[in-house]
Amino acid sequence: GDKAFAQFLTDEIKEEKKIQKHKSLPKVSGGWELEVHGTEAKLVRKIAGEKITVTFNINNSIPPSADDEPQEEQKPDEQEPELTSTPNFVVEVIKDDTKQTLVLDCHYPEDEVGHEGEEESDIFTIREVSFQPTGESDWKDTNYTLNTDSLDWALYDHLMDFLADRGVDNTFADELIELSTALEHQEYIKFLEDLKTFVKCQ
């Protein structure tokens, strides 16, 4: 059984490498620096007196496919629809002269992805906003967290503009999907390779 499994994995890896779009990870425009630790990625950008970091994790970032019905029309050699990774991402804005960090928790709404053509709509939403003490890795649950569900629209729009002014806009969100998808695919191939090595190991 293991031999067949290893053979299957070998073929699978070959296939995945064939459809891999990016040999190296795509860049995000606007002077963002990328750090990757396993499945977590961090983008950092410094502008006058501020540091902006965007963190996301590719685990569980691929939404479940809506239609599990087999397509009748699909030709045998056709590629499966491309999987897209749309991770939640956290934006932290740190101002040099305050001890606080503004933290914005952003999501790609599940029903929005794929509705091109609506000029107005943003492709990501802000879910929660809070202040956290700068430099502390553990966030406090005792800090007030603003949930945007019941938020005044004008305030929400200002928050979105605030992000856009710092380079976190629809273009950025699009490029983040591209980056995240490439990273996810790269990790998936690595996982298959590790699994193959593991299965072959006596």
Decide the pairing of beta strands 145-147 and 33-37: unpaired
CATH code for residues 29-59+83-110+120-185: 3.10.280.10
Q: Tokens at residue 96, please?
A: 């040099």
pLDDT tens digits, 149-198:
988 999 999 999 999 999 999 999 999 999 999 999 999 999 999 999 99
* pLDDT tops 80 at residue 7: yes
pLDDT tens digits, 109-134:
976 544 444 455 889 999 999 998 88
Q: What 3-state DSSP class applies to 151?
A: coil
List % helix, strand, coil for the chain (3-state, nearest 5): 30, 25, 45
Write down the H helix ranges in the chain: 2-19, 153-165, 170-200
135 or 21: whose pLDDT is higher? 21
Which of 144, 185, 200 shows the shortest CA–CA distance to 17?
Answer: 185
Average pLDDT value over all residues in the chain: 86
137 or 143: whose pLDDT is higher? 143
Q: Tokens at residue 21, please?
A: 């779009």
* pLDDT tops 90 at residue 77: no
Q: What 3-state DSSP class applies to 140?
A: coil
pLDDT tens digits, 79-108:
556 789 999 999 999 998 888 899 999 999
Sheet order of strands, 89-95 included:
33-37, 40-47, 50-57, 89-95, 100-107, 125-133, 145-147
76: confidence class by pLDDT, cuts 50, 70, 90: very low
* pLDDT tops 80 at residue 64: no
